[in-house]
Amino acid sequence: MIPSPVLAVTSGEPAGVGPELTLQLALDERLPGRVVAVGDPRLLSERAALLDLDVTLIELQPGEPVPEARSGVLPVWPVALRAPCRPGELAVANAGYVLETLDVAIEACLGGRADAMVTAPLHKGVILDAGHAGFRGHTEYLRDACGVDEVVMMLATDSALHAGEPDWRGSAALRVALATTHLPLRQVADAITEASLERILRIVNADLTRWFGLVTPRIAVCGLNPHAGEGGHLGHEEIEVIEPCLERLRQEGMALDGPLPADTLFTPRHLAGIDAVLAMYHDQGLPVLKYAGFGRAANITLGLPIVRTSVDHGTALDLAGRGIADTGSLRVATALAAEMANRGSAATTP
Ligand SMILES: NC(=O)C1=CN([C@@H]2O[C@H](COP(=O)(O)OP(=O)(O)OC[C@H]3O[C@@H](n4cnc5c(N)ncnc54)[C@H](O)[C@@H]3O)[C@@H](O)[C@H]2O)C=CC1
Ligand SMILES: NCC(=O)COP(=O)(O)O
């Protein structure tokens, strides 16, 4: 157990809601750890003034310890904006700034100066417009920066975040992992292979144990096609790819259901006793998750050597600088990051 884990919170796209949500987090009376923002102190102080948020920023020098959490005080690891920024107005010039905030947090986690990182939303389009070809999102960026071959995006509603059996009865507790992430739909079927599914299921299975304390997690796997292929009449991926992979992993003792038709899998009766759902693609799983708990859910990158959680929403440029964006998801993501950091340290403590 870490008495007060250091949680590096990247403040995200500067034109979005990330900076104000980070500032509002610092006003929490009961922070789950020592939050340190990663971002431009001038941007943060301008946004605080605009929204009349009474937050004192403390710029930390390299190597300086992160002080104990105090409501209204926000320590900052400074990264300089590349260009002036107005809420709601994206600037290509600031894409490098956003990526640098990630690099600072990742290095701190890998180097042991932070126990977890929590990310406010970035804007994928502006990073691509700036010429960072191939950028897909935090998830893939973290995979490459941490030097691992595969990671898995999983979102969970707040009632499914804590160790133990989630309560599916009438509650919206849901964990949804994705077999593919930020990919055009046209490319999804080709990206799902026996080998990729096997890697993903191994990560989901292992990390549900590691981070959520589920000894033999029961994972329900969606089919790719309508009605899970209708016995081969509506697609062959279930028969040729998904079933053989699941069968092999079942032989090893994994508790896998499926492939199941996604439309009926996401109903309370079918979810009973299921610890997580593996959806085949982004918009098969995430609309259901967001219907169940938008603003009360967190995004977790499974398969990393570090702890990373994030919000369940994007940059919300339409709300930026107005002080009306919901802070719920960032709070949930921060609490979960602290819990995971503690669980990870407990697992490594002799
Ligand atoms: N973790 C991350 O970095 C994520 C980043 N994104 C990125 O965000 C950008 C914008 O994506 P959109 O699809 O427009 O999704 P979005 O989540 O930014 O906005 C969708 C709708 O939800 C509302 N919304 C979002 N966050 C809210 C909050 N905290 N409180 C109240 N309402 C909120 C917005 O006002 C909008 O009406 C894209 O570049 C996308 O890739 C999207 C999801 C996650
Ligand atoms: N829809 C979830 C999402 O886009 C989050 O992506 P990432 O930036 O956390 O990889």
Distance CA 330, CA 12 (A): 12
Give the SS3 label for residue 324.
coil
By the 8 A CB rule, do 341 and 149 touch?
Answer: no
d(CA 131, CA 126): 9
Three-state secondary-structure class, residue 33: coil
Q: Which residue stretches of the chain are H helix?
A: 18-25, 41-51, 95-110, 124-129, 138-146, 185-191, 194-212, 237, 243-251, 262-265, 268-271, 282-293, 328-348
Q: Which pair of tokens denotes residue 322?
A: 């107005």
pLDDT less than 70: residues of the chain = 1-2, 161-172, 345-350
Alpha-carbon separation of residue 233 from 12, 177, 239 (angstroms): 45, 27, 11
Q: Is 10 in the pocket of ligand 2 (CB under 6 A)?
A: no
139 lines ligand 1 (CB under 6 A): no
Q: Is the CB of 304 under 6 A from ligand 2?
A: no
The amino acid at residue 318 is D
**In the chain, what are the domains?**
1-148+304-350 (3.40.718.10), 150-301 (3.40.718.10)
Determine the distance separating the centroid of ligand 1 and the alpha carbon of 178, expressed in angstroms: 18
Residue whose entry in the numeric block shows the structure tokens 């989630």:
166
**The pLDDT value given to residue 50:** 98
DSSP secondary structure, 146-207, as one string: HT-S--EEEEEEGGGSSSS----SSS---EEEESS-S--HHHHHHH--HHHHHHHHHHHHHH
CB neighbourhood size of 145 (10 A): 19
Ligand nearest to the CA of 18: 1
The rounded Å distance from CA 18 to ligand 2 centre is 14
For residue 124, the ligand 1 atom closest to its alpha carbon is 39
| β-strands 276-279, 152-157 pairing | unpaired
Q: Is 96 exposed, middle or buried (0-12, 13-18, 19+ CB in 10 A)?
A: middle
Tell how far the Cα of 87 is from the centroid of ligand 1, in angstroms: 14
Dist CA 97 CA 3 (whole Å)? 32
Which tokens belong to 291? 């219907």
Confirm or reject: Cβ of 47 under 6 Å from ligand 2: no
- Residue 267 Cα to ligand 1 midpoint, Å, equals 26
Tell me, what's the pLDDT at 167?
43
